[in-house]
Amino acid sequence: MEPEVIIRKEGAAGRITLNRPKALNALTHDICLETLKALDAWAGDPEVRLLIIDAVGEKAFCAGGDIAQVYHAGRAGNFALGRDFWRDEYQMNALLAGYGKPVISLMQGFVMGGGVGYGCHVSHRVVGDSTQMAMPECGIGLIPDVGGTHLLARAPGWLGMHLGLTGARFGAGDAIATGFADHFIPEAGWPALIEDLVRTGDAGLVAAAARPAPAAPLAALRPEIDTAYNDSGAARDNGVAYVTLVARQLAALESDWAQGAAKAIARNSPLSMASTAAMLRGRGPEGGLRAALQQEFRWTWRSMDRGDFLEGVRAQIIDKDRNPRWRHATPEALTPIEVEAMLAPLGADELKFEEDAA
C-alpha cells in the first residue's frame, strides 16, 4: 500500500511529498502527525540544510483536509476526532511557519484550505502555471482556518475579505499579489530546481529560478473590490451588519465579478461569513499567525455542535445536493452574540504550542 506522504532525506534536503493524487492530496490526520515527526527530527540534523514540500500528480498540491471522517464521527456525536485533527494540523502550520531552516513549497494545481496551511506559511512559496488557490470554507460552514485568516487579513486592501467571504479561486499571479506566494517558476523547471536544491542545499536558488509573475486579474479589480467591501465607517460593530451591508453593495453592481460574489455570499453560511468578517476586519489578532490559529481553533472546536460545518459537508461532499440548510437563513437572522460565542476563549481546551506546554 502506497504511503500517504513520502518522507525521506536526499542529499542536503529533507523531502516531504504528499502522495494521495486520487484524493487531490487531501490532508489526513496521519499526514499531519508524520509531518510533525519529520520537522522535529530534521530541526537538529546538520545534514538537512533545507526542506522541500511537494506533491504527486498534476491536478493538486493539496485540495484541503480530508474531512469525510471528521463528518461521520461528528454525526455520531464524536467531536473529539475533528478537534484533535485540527489541533495537530494547526500546530503543524505554526511549526512550518517558524521553522529554523528554509522550507520550499512547490504548489501546482489546486491549493485550497488545508493545502494553503501546508504550503503558504513557509519561507519560500513557489507557484506555477496550473496553480489555483482558494479558501472556500464559508461554503462548507467553516471559516478560513489553518492560518488562513492571518494571510487574508494581510492581503492588500479588501482583497482578503473578498476571498474569505466568497471562496473565489485565484491563480499564480494573484497568489503573489495577495501575499499567499513568493515566486512564480514554470512547472517544467521544477524537477531541475529540486535536483539543484538537493545537491547544494542552497535555498537562494529558488529566487534565482523565478520568472515574472503572470497577470493578476483579481488585483487589477482592487479599486472596485475596495469600494464594494469598504464599509465607510458604518457597521463597524460586528461581522453580522458588515456582511449584510456588503451583500447589498455587491448586488447593486453590474460587473460579472460582483454578481458572482453576491451569489456566493447568498449561498454560503451566514454564521461562517459573519465570523470570518469579524476576524478579518481588525486585520487579524495581535500576535501574528499563532494568535490567528488560536482564534480559528476556538471556532472550529465549536463548529460541529454549534456551527454549520456538519450540514455544509453533508450538502457539498457527502450527499452532494448543494442545498445546505444553514442554521440562519440570512445574515440578518444572526446576532452579534452568536458570533462572539463562537470566538470566545476555550479555557483548558485552548490551542497551545509546544513551547507553551514546556
Same domain for 180 and 38?
yes
Q: Which position among 65, 119, 128, 307 bears the catalytic label?
A: 65
User: Given CA atoms 247, 253, 257, 260 in this order, what sign does their dihedral have?
Assistant: positive
Specify whether 164 is catalytic: no
219's grid cell: 488585483
Same domain for 144 and 266?
no
Answer yes or no: is 154 within a domain: yes
Same domain for 102 and 244?
no
Where does a domain end: 180, 209, 238?
Answer: 209
d(CA 203, CA 187) in angstroms, rounded, equals 17
Same domain for 47 and 86?
yes
Same domain for 344 and 236?
yes
Same domain for 202 and 232?
no
Nearest partner of 102 among 81, 125, 85, judged by Cα: 125
297's grid cell: 481553533
Same domain for 232 and 156?
no
Q: What angle do CA 145, 146, 152 make, to 5 degrees?
A: 65
Same domain for 123 and 10?
yes
Answer yes or no: is 199 within a domain: yes
pLDDT (tens digit, 9 = 90+) per residue, 14-71? 999 999 999 999 999 999 999 999 999 999 999 999 999 999 999 999 999 999 999 9
Answer yes or no: is 214 within a domain: no
Whole-structure pTM value: 0.96
Answer yes or no: is 22 within a domain: yes
d(CA 165, CA 262) in angstroms, rounded, equals 10
Same domain for 104 and 156?
yes
pLDDT (tens digit, 9 = 90+) per residue, 73-127? 999 999 999 999 999 999 999 999 999 999 999 999 999 999 999 999 999 999 9
Nearest partner of 246 among 222, 260, 262, judged by Cα: 262
Same domain for 190 and 224?
no
Placement of cell 452579534 in the chain: 336
How many domains does the structure of the chain reveal?
A: 2
pLDDT (tens digit, 9 = 90+) per residue, 242-278? 999 999 999 999 999 999 999 999 999 999 999 999 9
Confidence of residue 358 (pLDDT cuts 50, 70, 90): very low
Specify whether 119 is catalytic: no
Specify whether 145 is catalytic: yes
Q: Which position among 137, 174, 296, 338 bears the catalytic label?
A: 137
Where does a domain end: 164, 180, 209?
Answer: 209
Sheet architecture: strand order including 124-127? 5-10, 13-18, 50-55, 103-107, 124-127, 183-184
Specify whether 65 is catalytic: yes
Residue 259 structural domain: 220-357
pLDDT (tens digit, 9 = 90+) per residue, 116-139? 999 999 999 999 999 999 999 999
**28-31 long-range contacts, CB within 8 A, separation 24+:** 28/4, 28/65, 28/66, 28/69, 29/84, 29/85, 29/88, 29/89, 30/4, 30/5, 31/4, 31/5
CATH number at residue 12: 3.90.226.10
Where does a domain end: 177, 209, 241?
Answer: 209
d(CA 176, CA 126) in angstroms, rounded, equals 9
Same domain for 255 and 286?
yes
Q: Which position among 14, 113, 114, 171 bears the catalytic label?
A: 114
Q: Which position among 89, 145, 174, 308 bears the catalytic label?
A: 145
**69-77 long-range contacts, CB within 8 A, separation 24+:** 69/28, 70/304, 70/313, 71/310, 71/313, 71/314, 71/317, 71/318, 74/304, 74/309, 74/310, 75/310
Answer yes or no: is 215 within a domain: no
Answer yes or no: is 314 within a domain: yes
Same domain for 143 and 79?
yes
